[in-house]
Amino acid sequence: MKSSLANTMFNHRPTLSPLFAPVQQLGLIVIDESHDQAYKSDSSPHYRTERVAAKLAQLHGACLVSGTATPSIEEYYFLGAKKRPIITLQSLAVTSTAEVSIKTVDLRDNGNLTRSSILTTPLVAAVRSALGSHQQSLLFLNRRGTASAILCSRCGWQALCSHCDLAMTYHGDTHCVRCHICGRTQPLPSSCPDCSETDIILKTIGTKAVVEEIKRLFPHARVMRFDTDASKAEQLENQLAALKNGSVDIIVGTQMITKGLDLPNLSVVGILSADNSLLIPDYTASERTFQLLTQVIGRAGRGHRAGTIIIQTYNPTHPTIVAATERNWIDFYERELAERRAFQFPPFTYLLKLTCLRATSTSAEKTAMKLKEQIEKSHPRLTAEGPSPAFHPREGGKYKWQLIVKSPQRQVLVDIAQTLPRSGWTHDLDPVNLL
């Protein structure tokens, strides 16, 4: 490709990064939704798009623009430290006199759950009002399936994947349970395999359960669900015309409906469980939650009509949820930055995640501990945390344990990665999360 000025734009869900296109005389690189974790390549070649793009821009003398409503904590800090220009919008891109109201509803108060165990009374009323005005509602829940916990009421047995050791998800439309990591499926057990109890409990709702509840409450509403379980014909990109022309009354979906949708008929946005991503055991949990909530809230108030946003949560005073509802990114950034400084997480240190796979959990733990001792002996000033089971504790039938190595100097971590034992070990330098 050759031109006097070539422009490259990276989508927020890249399938083949244009970073490696043979472009000459490159003039402009734009990274859209630059905070998205999909920009970190976990397969070979390993890279973080924003950093490779910065080097590419430097080599070509090109302009690099990273666009997002919710910047990465790490990248925003580095931009400030390097005194790069940061341009902020002082007002919404679309001006409108239509008001947008945001209401937080406490799920701990049973008085808010008089019509449904899933949708609070204010949200039910808002959806009903939208239906009466021939307007759309969007309901967000970042969890697929019908129920993500399958338990025995007597002994507490839980349906876990035999290969991944993770909870399997029940899908009511196919009456099967599925592992969302490896894809294995099996029929829903009619009784507990440990104690033979027939009372199997389905807990923790997913998007399919939300659709079932919507159909019970509003039997005449036209409902569409968007998640990775949808068939090809039902996928979002194939239904955009129906969403925009008002053929759909209620939209239910996961993270895929949080970005890029500009729906003229949308007036109600419901976030069914704002706490879900806060419960993930990772240092980026608050950042991911703030980004998600901000993106979902941004579907309303786009200049078409007045909007109502209902946020359901068990912790309405949580600083992250408050900051998102008030759209106060700076307060969130400063608080999050102080916490990361205190506990030595990026941007104040570099991270290397080392993962060991072995046939047994004991073998994986011992192997990881041996490597930790070697690292601490060779690099006494480094911090090596763990070993501990990985968040996804099994892979391909083997057990997975990990070490987290922290260093103020990135080259030290590069050296450790290059001398890593080849058998059963993998590494992730500059991981975007520790899961």
Instruction: List b or e across 405-419, with b for residues whose CB sees 16 or more CB atoms inside 10 angstroms.
Output: bbbeeeebbeebbee
How confident is residue 148, by pLDDT bands cut at 50, 70 and 90?
Answer: confident
DSSP calls for 194-241: TT----EEEEEE-HHHHHHHHHHH-TTS-EEEESTTS-GGGSGGGSHH
Predicted pLDDT of residue 349: 95
Predicted pLDDT of residue 233: 65
Q: How far apart are alpha carbons 208 and 229 in whole angstroms?
A: 10
Predicted pLDDT of residue 346: 94
Predicted pLDDT of residue 47: 83
Question: For the chain, what is the mean pLDDT?
Answer: 86
Predicted pLDDT of residue 12: 41
Cβ–Cβ < 8 Å for 307, 82: no
> Which tens digits make up the pLDDT trace of 350-393?
999 999 999 999 999 999 999 999 999 999 989 999 899 988 88
Q: How far apart are alpha carbons 148 and 146 in whole angstroms?
A: 7
**Residue 48 token pair:** 């973080």
| Residue 27 CA: distances (Å) to CA of 2, 50, 79, 314, 412 | 12, 16, 20, 48, 34
Task: Please determine, for residue 434, whether its predicted confidence score (pLDDT) is greater than 50.
Answer: yes
Task: Please determine, for residue 334, whether its predicted confidence score (pLDDT) is greater than 90.
Answer: yes
DSSP calls for 346-412: TTSSEEEEEEEEESSHHHHHHHHHHHHHHHHHH-TTSEEEEEEEEEEEEETTEEEEEEEEEES-HHH
Ordered structural domains, the chain, with CATH: 2-68 (no CATH), 100-144+206-339 (3.40.50.300), 147-203 (no CATH), 350-429 (3.30.70.600)
How confident is residue 103, by pLDDT bands cut at 50, 70 and 90?
Answer: very high
Span 122-130, mean pLDDT?
96
Task: Please determine, for residue 292, whether its predicted confidence score (pLDDT) is greater than 60.
Answer: yes
Length of the chain: 435
DSSP calls for 27-60: EEEEEETTT-GGGEE-SSSPEEHHHHHHHHHHHH
Q: How far apart are alpha carbons 345 and 423 in whole angstroms?
A: 29
> Which tens digits make up the pLDDT trace of 3-40?
333 444 444 444 446 778 888 888 998 988 888 888 88
Q: Find how far residue 65's CA is from the centre of its chain.
A: 23
Predicted pLDDT of residue 92: 65
Q: Which of 435, 407, 433, 428 is nearest to 47 (CA)?
A: 428
How confident is residue 137, by pLDDT bands cut at 50, 70 and 90?
Answer: very high
Cβ–Cβ < 8 Å for 423, 354: no
Which of 156-160, 179-183, 415-419 is predicted most confidently?
415-419
Predicted pLDDT of residue 94: 61
How confident is residue 127, by pLDDT bands cut at 50, 70 and 90?
Answer: very high
Cβ within 8 Å of residue 13, ≥6 positions away: 36, 38
DSSP annotation of 268 reads E
Q: How many helices (H) and strands (E) does the chain have?
A: 10, 20
% of residues, the chain, pLDDT over 90: 45
How confident is residue 229, by pLDDT bands cut at 50, 70 and 90?
Answer: confident
Span 207-221, mean pLDDT?
93
Cβ–Cβ < 8 Å for 85, 77: no
Task: Please determine, for residue 129, whether its predicted confidence score (pLDDT) is greater than 90.
Answer: yes
Predicted pLDDT of residue 244: 85
